[in-house]
Structure 1
């Protein structure tokens, strides 16, 4: 079990944010979901979680994303810690889609925040959200039911999805790669290239690597075991290594970036 880090979040920010959370809404969400049935339905009996995922704490939560606590608290907390305004940041990825995708895969979808935006923007497209945490998927499923949006949720690793090659013409990932080791990031990008049909695109929203490198203190705000390796890397180069062409990155509100790659 990983030892919790003494981050700026734990020292100062968490007590402040906790006071802003709607505890009643979180309690209602916890009670509304049939956790045992939903987790059993998503999680294969023989499923084995990768070491990089189950051995780390994320955001100061013991057990990381494989907990009910992480799933219930993710959205209420993220609205305060993704400046300047979470919907604007996530919408920046949607705004970079210049064609009409027919089939979309959202990797590391978590509780479905970006996945829901994708379905709203492209209602005629088949939209799928994939995540490694059945707890996060339980919340994502509840959110799609509450909004009446038809989205297919899948439990799997992003680096080995089991989908057929060429199945999608748009793959997205929001706030995923700063939470994976570089070797896994590269494997996910290679898998994404395989999954895209010719002419398909990948769009990635994540922390701005240049900003994170220049302001090291940002890496110490939350418990993010892989963020320093992410910050020291180059997403453009990783995409190029996976086979993508016309790779380009745009800054988003200084703290984040959107990166595009095309499979020809």
Structure 2
């Protein structure tokens, strides 16, 4: 496991934001979930985590997303670090969907922060959320139960989606995934996504604004994000083009974020 970095986030911002968190509510969530039973149900016994994922800390949390702490704190913290208002940012991605998809796959779904709004926007669709962390899926499952929606939660890596047949989905989404993966991994995920989309299907990606991040080195150093500088140096439009997507375009969202869309012809 990586050694925790002495970032500006850890020194100054984390104590402030953690002071704003509703700790009693987080305890309620923690105690409501059958962690071991849920993890045993999602995580295959012989599953091998990708090295890029399990050897890094994310957001100053030792163990990264493979921890109960990361799963419980993710939603409360994200509301403060996805300005100006997290639901607006996520809805801006949903607004770029140019169809009425019936089969949706949300990659790197985490706690379901994007998956649930997708199901609410397209209630007739069959929605699948996939993530590498069984801890995050435990929270996602809990959120879906409270919301009264049916979502197919699956544990796995977005670089190997062989459990799905080609052309299985009309829409694939990824929110805040690619800045947390090495560029080569991101390219593999996009190739897998292209295979899984039916002709005319769309991919919609919400993530940090690459142009903005390139001009703000200090911002890249605030959080413990091991791959964000490589992500900022890249170009999602070009990555999508190399994967075979057409009609690729990126739209700025509140300066710090962007939504990138592509179509499989």
TM over 0.5: yes
Residues 68-105 of structure 1: CA deviation (Å, up to 9, x unaligned):
00000000111111100101111111111121001000
Query: TM-score scaled by structure 2?
Result: 0.99
Distance 1:98 1:201 in 2: 8
The equivalent residue for 1:113 is 113
Distance 1:231 1:5 in 2: 20
The equivalent residue for 2:225 is 224
Distance 2:95 2:222 in 1: 28
The equivalent residue for 1:199 is 200
The equivalent residue for 2:28 is 28
Query: TM-score scaled by structure 1?
Result: 0.99
Total equivalences in the alignment: 264
Distance 2:221 2:244 in 1: 33
The equivalent residue for 1:4 is 4
The equivalent residue for 2:77 is 77
Per-residue deviation, 1:46: 1.1
Within 5 Å, give how 1:1-264 maps onto structure 2: 1-162=1-162, 163-264=164-265
For structure 2, list consecutive stretches of 5 or more residues without a partner in the other structure: none
Distance 1:161 1:30 in 2: 30
Residues 39-64 of structure 1: CA deviation (Å, up to 9, x unaligned):
00000111100000000000000000
Distance 1:238 1:19 in 2: 39
* Structure 1 segments (4+ residues) deviating >4 Å: none
For structure 1, list consecutive stretches of 5 or more residues without a partner in the other structure: none
Please give the secondary structure, in 2, of the residue aligned with 1:19.
helix
Distance 2:154 2:165 in 1: 14
